[in-house]
Amino acid sequence: MGEECKAKILGAPEAQVVQTKEFKMDQPLLICGFPSAGVVGTIAAGAIIEQFDMEEVAHIRSKYMPSAAVFIDGRLRHPFRIYASEKQNLLVVMTELPIAEEGMYHVSSILLDWAASVGVKETVVVDGIPVQGLPLNRKVLYAAEEEKLKELRDDTEMEILQKGIITGIAGSILSETLCREMVGFALLTPAIVMIPDPEGAVKLLEALNRLYNIGIKVIELQESGNRIREKMGEVAENVEGMQKGQAARRGYERMFA
């Protein structure tokens, strides 16, 4: 893999996939990670890309993306990138920037058109469910098309998401898989709203390991999650101390559940 090729462009002016490298894979799994609660999807996708030393093989251009530049280790990167690993038989899509609502159909549609052209039959979106504070009971929930549900139910460490709405580019992609000969599903976990939540990403990666035996090592992310948990605990203690001090000055205390 990695052979340079004359850029192949698929799509219309609203959104285009520009493939810049050749690769060959047999029905690769497509993993999508986007900015969401705790940026768990982006963290998970980035961990896979880094650990397997995946190559950027394509990117998406669209007028519905912000006019912004992305730097990684000082190098300019396309905002919406597609990576490949022939050895792992994986494609990973990630972006750090939001897609305008009016452009989500165009972007998701052209992404899956391209994915189908390279043999993708399964697409999984990894995402966060926003919660306030640190989640005490970390679970992975799933929502899937009918033909995938039995396999997911066999994993006793996950639970089905009984009802809900997945919005944004993640929801748009899942909606598009329903119209194609491609199975789409989502793996979701509760995540801190306002700060990066690597512990949530760990749960998603562990679920992918169980489902596909990918072999992603999560020890570094676990350590990051522990550090964030400790820091958040210190902040909570400081806030509690301030509240008690204020209450004492007023001559009473309040208890919150």
Contact 79, 92 (CB under 8 A): no
Confidence of residue 5 (pLDDT cuts 50, 70, 90): low
Find tokens 């494609």 and name the residue.
91
User: What local confidence, expressed as pLDDT, does residue 166 receive?
Assistant: 85
What's the whole-model pTM score? 0.83
Amino acid at position 231, single letter = K
Find tokens 């970390």 and name the residue.
138
> What integer best gives the mean pLDDT of the chain?
83
Contacts of 31 (CB under 8 A, 6+ apart): 44, 45, 48, 90, 91, 92, 93, 124, 126, 208
Antiparallel, parallel or unpaired: β 90-95 and 70-72: unpaired
Find tokens 């959104």 and name the residue.
15
Question: For domain 4-217, which CATH number applies: 3.30.43.10, 3.40.50.10900, 3.90.1720.10, 3.50.50.60?
Answer: 3.40.50.10900
Amino acid at position 171, single letter = G
| 188, pLDDT greater than 90 | yes
In order of 32, 41, 99, 102, 151, the CA distances from 172 in angstroms are 12, 15, 11, 11, 23
Antiparallel, parallel or unpaired: β 80-85 and 55-62: antiparallel
Per-residue pLDDT of 22-65, as tens digits, reads 999 999 999 999 888 888 898 899 899 999 999 999 999 998 88
CB atoms within 10 A of CB 155: 13
Contact 111, 31 (CB under 8 A): no
Confidence of residue 192 (pLDDT cuts 50, 70, 90): confident
| 167, pLDDT greater than 60 | yes
User: What local confidence, expressed as pLDDT, does residue 165 receive?
Assistant: 84
Antiparallel, parallel or unpaired: β 15-21 and 55-62: antiparallel
Per-residue pLDDT of 75-122, as tens digits, reads 888 889 999 999 999 999 998 888 889 999 999 999 999 999 999 999
- Which has more pLDDT, 177 or 256? 177
Find tokens 């992975």 and name the residue.
140
Please tell me the number of Cα atoms within 13 Å of 250 on its side-chain side. Answer: 9
User: What local confidence, expressed as pLDDT, does residue 242 receive?
Assistant: 44
In order of 46, 76, 119, the CA distances from 43 in angstroms are 5, 19, 26
In order of 119, 231, 241, 257, the CA distances from 234 in angstroms are 49, 5, 11, 19
User: What local confidence, expressed as pLDDT, does residue 226 receive?
Assistant: 66
